[in-house]
Structure 1
């Protein structure tokens, strides 16, 4: 009896600890196997073929992420917050778009910056730009949607950061927004340490055993993270292509003008899964008739103002800062989509 109880307990712990993304993948495949076996096989084949197709870009993305972590290049983020005024906003927007942040996430880092007294304007610039693009995201975006789209998304990230940073800079001249944090917010833990005590990167990391080990750990972690999210995304894309009429997508999100891009911006907030998983979905939507500008607006808006990110900002910052964050995110994403559509 004791063995049965222990066995059941172990099974319960294993089920509880099952990764939610892996659980979703297994649930989709199981449901398809029961309800539509041919579609289950087709979805699995589609996901495998898509993963093989994106594998070179995936490996490049993994290598970049592991190199940044092993070399300590993410410490360069601290330099974005040196200087004053407009120069600091421009540097913060650029660093936010091009530099990945630590595994603690951007929210603790932002908490540390604000708690240390860094002005809100450059912090907002970094805050808005960082979820949209980084070197790993650039590689996968180029693989999934093409180099032109990857460059456009990078420019959108920098532009969004500049828009928010200079907007806060203008609003803060009268002393408003001088104290943006909610009472009781901490100093950001390990995210703040990179700003408080930045260390120079070790570009030739392979000369140190500890850094070589870190490279291996980070590479494995990135492979697992990206692999499971992309697998889920490709399964969803296969279902979308099989069951969502292309005419409906083209009618709602295709064509020129403001309406499809505005709709994609609004839909991007609740529908966004993950920056990496969204890429195959947008690729599939564009194949079915979605306007490229709407696709860019969806990716930018979803990355900045998805529900999990918005909840974190709500918990961290005061209401007026939260409102500004969402306002800049929506307006900047819409503008990015319109500009990209205009130059197509």
Structure 2
């Protein structure tokens, strides 16, 4: 009898498996194999932590869905009007508060670069955008503290200003001369032909198409947050049960500059995801991590995370990308020092 099994069935099945859910399941499975009595403890810890964060997840999902459904992202284009200094300030402010995905932001930034928008304003938005949004603020508040979430928001805007004005001051140097890999096309994915060009519709429930957007955005972001926080709390459970608190206190404790710098250097390559990082940092703070190191880790890691970094790498030359990372590293250290002093 002929073999009717398709050779592509296994790859297709593997492609449909979500890697985040799979990672969380594998962690629990490994604990069950290595230390079976601890399995219930790990699962219950993650479940209780997730339930405690549900109100913040619900708020975050509603906020994102509302902003998507109304088309509030169209207001973003106004940040890039006027003189360069005003553009940088507005781009940093909106970048630090906007909830928009790279699928929308990348074509928008490409369009701005194509028509000659100042790189300083674009840099300000690039640096601030991955660090904070309504969902991130809610999750950070629930997983760490409200004070930390507010401080991170200020740090995101400050980093945007730092990088934006730094780029403006150095705009005539070889680093920023002819910065683009090639002139980007106007348009992009998701059917975006003229990004952020429409007028927001605040009473979106009167328009059936926008109600659909609200539902899809809420569902997509709800699943996204749940899976990443499930993974984060599962990893946090491992840290609670298996990582000695003295180790964290010795390595990342104290308020010295070296500890804050180490937080930045570790955060840049080790960062998983902004939503997953918040619970982990909350646990590390409980185990003795210095507040300044926690802040520097979150800022440096957010800017250098793969989605954020790839958006920059795809559009500008390596020297400009290097400047982007340099601004992130220096700014994260300064943010860590400031938070260490304040806290």
Structure 1 distance, partners of 2:173, 2:305, is 31
Q: Name the residue aligned to 1:115.
A: 114
Mapped pair 1:5 → 2:10 = no
> Is the Cα contact below 8 Å between 2:291 and 2:339 reproduced in 1?
yes
Instruction: Report deviation, 1:136.
Output: 1.4
Instruction: Report deviation, 1:154.
Output: 0.3
Cα distance per residue 1:88-114 (max 9 Å; x no partner): 110000010011224515444332321
Q: Name the residue aligned to 2:267.
A: 268
Cα distance per residue 1:15-46 (max 9 Å; x no partner): 23211111211211222222222222211111
Equivalent residue runs for 1:26-65 within 5 Å: 26-65=25-64
Structure 2 distance, partners of 1:218, 1:259, is 42
The 1:88–1:195 alpha-carbon spacing in structure 2 relative to 1, beyond 3 Å, is farther
Local SS of the residue matching 1:83: coil
Structure 2 distance, partners of 1:195, 1:11, is 39
Local SS of the residue matching 1:172: coil
Equivalent residue runs for 1:1-344 within 5 Å: 5-6=5-6, 10-102=9-101, 104=103, 106-173=105-172, 177-183=176-182, 185-190=184-189, 193=192, 196=195, 198-307=197-306, 309-344=308-343
> Is the Cα contact below 8 Å between 1:108 and 1:192 reproduced in 2?
no
Q: Which runs of 5+ in 2 are unaligned?
A: none
The 1:65–1:197 alpha-carbon spacing in structure 2 relative to 1, beyond 3 Å, is closer
TM-score (norm 2): 0.94
Local SS of the residue matching 2:117: coil
- Say how many residue pairs are matched: 343
> Is the Cα contact below 8 Å between 2:303 and 2:328 reproduced in 1?
yes
> Is the Cα contact below 8 Å between 1:57 and 1:140 reproduced in 2?
yes
Structure 1 distance, partners of 2:261, 2:100, is 30
Cα distance per residue 1:241-293 (max 9 Å; x no partner): 11111111011111112011110000001110000000000001000000111
Q: Which runs of 5+ in 1 are unaligned?
A: none
Local SS of the residue matching 1:223: helix
Local SS of the residue matching 2:96: helix
Local SS of the residue matching 1:142: helix
Greater helix fraction, Structure 1 or Structure 2: 1
Local SS of the residue matching 1:181: coil
> Is the Cα contact below 8 Å between 1:144 and 1:280 reproduced in 2?
yes
TM-score (norm 1): 0.93
Q: Which moved more, 1:247-256 or 1:34-43?
A: 34-43
> Is the Cα contact below 8 Å between 1:114 and 1:180 reproduced in 2?
no
Structure 1 distance, partners of 2:104, 2:47, is 30
